[in-house]
Amino acid sequence: MVRIGIDVGGTKAAYGLFDEDNRLLDRRQHLVPVDTDGPGLSEILLGNILSILRENGVDHSRVEGIGIGMPSFILYDRGYVYMTSALVNVRDFAMRDWFRERLDIPVAVDKDSNASAVAEYRYGAGRGARNMVYTTVGTGLGSGLIINGELFHGSYGWAVETGHMLITPDQGLECGCRNRGCFMSYASGRYLPDHMKRLGAGMKTEIDLTGDLNGYVLKQGLDAGDPLAEATADQLARYIGILTVNLYLALNINLFVFGGGLVNLGNVLFDRVRAVFDRYNHVDMPVEFKFAELKQDYGIIGAAEFVRDLPKP
Ligand SMILES: [Zn+2]
């Protein structure tokens, strides 16, 4: 039997075909049209699923299931997508039912950060822990929560949708979640250019504010000791650190795993995150910060893990 894991992001979709021993047999990736809607996105995913199976000579009867990680608020029990902040037209869509009507293969739909959390918990930085919070700091910002070894969904499915927790309500940049002042609007790749331009106004900097502003540019600036890069990293660290303090106070979980593109900045960013955490935490008990270990594959590995957790027929 094989499983397919699909990681749908705000800009691209990645697919992994896995065998029973979790070996990655095939992979592919493509860009996602940003204005697509639920059925449009699903048609694209279905076309790729069918071609992956065909190219690998896999009969549908040999597919244990397909797991899809979506950057969305998802009613987990029904695989229903309420809203997606990165793909704003993917909303109010019965995604799992759509696939069930077209494929005789079980399908699970869950949020993308839950996929990464499960992958890191079972195969990466969370191995052996009882409780864990995983946080993606990439194009977007989101978390997944493991309690007593199990993924915790909450009542509906958006437990620890941390990117949209509010830190300055009604102030700041408007996010795809329709609010202003959520953590994602301060600490994610999508909003990095806005913040760098604002912080850079009137500042002496070698960074070209009219060019691409992303994690790579930020890293180069930090290596060169550029004041704008320093100010940007300080601001990012402040919001990630405060978010982590709040999660620690809410959940009292002592293992935080960080993944996503901006985590490639490494300790130059996360030493600052840790300093913010330590500044606001006044109880001296062990709290671990770790980097994700599975690199770019945790999204597809975790989405394929959703299949293992489907109710057995
Ligand atoms: Zn938001």
Cα of 283 vs centre of ligand 1, distance in Å, is 30
Ligand 1 center to residue 142 CA distance, Å?
Answer: 10
Q: Are 301 and 117 in contact (CB under 8 A)?
A: no
| Distance from C-alpha of 66 to C-alpha of 6, rounded to nearest angstrom | 8
Residues near ion ligand 1 (CB < 5 Å) are 164, 175, 177, 182, 184
Tell me, what amino acid is at 257? Answer: V
**Cα of 35 from ligand 1 centre, angstroms:** 18
Alpha helices of the chain — where are they, by DSSP H? 38-55, 95-102, 112-123, 192-200, 215-223, 227-251, 267-280, 298-308
Q: How many domains does the chain have?
A: 2
Q: Is the pLDDT of residue 191 over 90?
A: yes
In a domain? residue 55: yes
Give pLDDT, residue 310: 87
pLDDT at 312 over 80: no
Confidence (pLDDT) at 202: 86
**β-bridge partners, 66:** 4, 107
**How far apart, in whole angstroms, are the C-alpha atoms of residue 53 and residue 166?**
42
pLDDT of res. 313: 66
CA separation for the pair 178, 130 (Å, rounded) = 35
Instruction: Kindly state whether residues 132 and 274 are assigned to the same domain.
Output: yes
Question: pLDDT for 193-222, tens place per residue?
Answer: 999 999 999 899 999 999 999 999 999 999
* One domain for residues 58 and 160: no
CA of 131 to the centre of ligand 1 (A): 26
Tell whether the model's pLDDT for residue 149 goes beyond 80: yes
User: Cα of 180 to ligand 1 centre, how many Å?
Assistant: 7
Q: What share of the chain in percent tops pLDDT 70?
A: 100
Distance 185 CA to ligand 1 centre (A): 6
206 φψ region: left (φ > 0), alpha (ψ -120 to 50), beta (else): alpha
Check which CATH number belongs to the domain holding 86 and give it: 3.30.420.40
**3: its two tokens:** 């499983």
Hey, is 70 helix, strand or coil?
Answer: strand
Residue 40 belongs to domain spanning: 2-117+296-308
Between the CA of 162 and the centroid of ligand 1 the distance, in Å, is 9
Q: Are residues 139 and 269 in the same domain?
A: yes
Going from the Cα of 73 to the center of ligand 1, the distance in angstroms, rounded, reads: 11
Spacing, Cα 175 to ligand 1 middle (Å): 4
What separation in Å is there between the alpha carbon of 189 and the centre of ligand 1?
13
Question: What distance in angstroms lies between residue 200's CA and the mean position of ligand 1's atoms?
Answer: 24
**Is the residue at 26 inside a domain?**
yes
Residue 283, domain member (yes or no): yes
Please tell me whether residues 74 and 47 are part of one structural domain: yes
In the block, residue with structure tokens 């070698």: 206
For ligand 1, the distance from its centroid to the CA atom of residue 280, given in whole angstroms, is 24
Cα–ligand 1 centroid distance for 62 (angstroms):
40
The radius of gyration of the chain's CA atoms, rounded to the nearest angstrom, is: 20
Do 134 and 149 share a domain, yes or no?
Answer: yes
73 in Cβ contact with 56 (< 8 Å):
no
> Same domain for 113 and 188?
no
Question: Residue 166 domain-assigned?
Answer: yes
Q: Measuring CA to CA, how many Å separate 98 from each of 80, 94, 152?
A: 10, 6, 25
pTM attached to this predicted model? 0.94
Within-domain flag for 100: yes
Model confidence over 34-58: pLDDT tens digits?
A: 999 999 999 999 999 999 999 999 9
The pLDDT, as a whole number, for residue 295 is 79
H/E stretch holding 28? strand 24-31
Please give the average per-residue pLDDT across 109-124, as a whole number.
Answer: 96
Dihedral angle over CA of 193, 199, 203, 204, nearest 10: -40
- Does residue 37 belong to any structural domain of this protein? yes
Range with the lowest mean pLDDT among 90-94, 170-174, 254-258, 293-297? 293-297
